[in-house]
Amino acid sequence: MWCLPTVRPNVSEMFKCSSLHRFHSPRLKPPTAARFSTTSSSPYLPPLFSVAPMMEWTDNHYRTLARIITKHAWLYTEMIAAQTLVHQQTNLDRFLAFSPQQHPIVLQLGGSNVESLAKAAKLSHPYGYDEINLNCGCPSPKVAGHGCFGVTLMLNPKLVGEAMSAIADNTNVPVTVKCRIGVDDHDSYDELCDFVYKVSTLSPTKHFIVHSRKALLGGISPADNRRIPPLKYEYYYALVRDFPDLKFTINGGITSVSTVNAALKEGAHGVMVGRAAYNNPWQTLGLVDTTVYGVPSSGLTRRQVLEQYQVYADSVLGTQGNGRPNVRDLVKPLLNIFHSEIGNSLWKRRADAAFRECKTVGALLEESLKAIPDSVLDSPISLSPEIGEDDVFADVQNVLPPPYKAVEQVMLCA
């Protein structure tokens, strides 16, 4: 059932790197970053759809799988602490290297020290990322509770503006901010606008990725922060209305491509999807190119996707030292590729059992994929979008907050 190709000229060329130090190297000239305008000379389509940065999830392995499935979605790294890069300058490839096929790709930095952020941007520049994003939205106590990190930065927009200017001074690619709509009791629309106004005025930042929930810093978990605060999409669409010279990507609670298209139809500049792109990559990422970007499907089946991924995975097995990445690390992004399909549970059990014996990803797939019917393995992605949620944006224009009127005094606030 699991038939590995005997000759893979195209695949081998696609993933010709045999170790992480042969990923995207500082010797390669970074490409021009994509813009939202379709008239841009960028080699990439605009970020109508992007995959959210997710700690321990959107690593090199997942991004490699994602790029095989979708050619046009924008990918983000996990958040990388600026201080980590500053203190690991002899080991930067471990944190920054990626295969050229992952473009367009955005580096997300975390931190609040302006000097460290500037150094991190400079260190990352030779790797050729298409944009650099600053995390101003993570509510995790491990992040927000230490050194004004993550979402707590929203309480100090002047510092964010200085940081974004420092980052921009050390790179030649666009700089962006990912934020929430508020923090604790600082959750009015005017306060959100003050943040956007100050940051965009004090720095070259022209693109904000907005998670449409506020963050609660009372010790609740990141999972609860994605569930308990209500979504306020009206704040996002009001930003689009009130800041016509800026670009905004909507994030939060969007779990299907049909809802992505509904958001775009309502006027969103771009949409960022998080866990749905990881938990159901085939039915999410597999529909992006055709239904969001309107380009022809690659026609790949899941068997072909896995064959391509296996070439990559076995080429990087153990290349970081100490046996990492191991087979389990490399198979982790694959575990949801048969989401809701016949044989999915059995394939996961067989894969889990195979971890103990199999020394390569190819061997594990050969053993475990016997659980999946050929009809599932060999069917390309459906060209029609899946049935998604009701149009949650249908009435959003009727509940927008009053227009924001920027006043110069806000620039004087700390």
Which active-site residues does the annotation give?
138
Q: d(Cα 153, Cα 63) in Å, to the nearest integer?
A: 28
Q: Is the dihedral of CA 337, 263, 80, 316 positive or negative?
A: positive
190: helix, strand or coil: helix
d(CA 232, CA 392): 11
**Tokens at residue 232, please?**
């306020």
Please state, in angstroms and rounded to a whole number, the distance separating the CA atoms of residues 34 and 293.
14
List phi, psi (to 5°) of 388.
Answer: -105, -165
What's the per-residue H, E or C state across 86-123? HHCCCCHHHHHCCCHHHCCEEEEEECCCHHHHHHHHHH
Bond from prior residue into 31 cis (ω within 30 degrees of 0): no
Strand order in the sheet with 105-110: 49-51, 270-273, 247-251, 207-211, 175-180, 131-136, 105-110, 75-81
62 contacts 22 by C-beta, under 8 angstroms? no
SS3 at position 241? helix
- Please give the sequence-ordered ranges of beta strands (E in DSSP) within 167-299, or none if there are none: 175-180, 207-211, 247-251, 270-273
The Cα–Cα gap between 61 and 64 comes to: 5
Cα–Cα dist 128/30, whole Å = 4
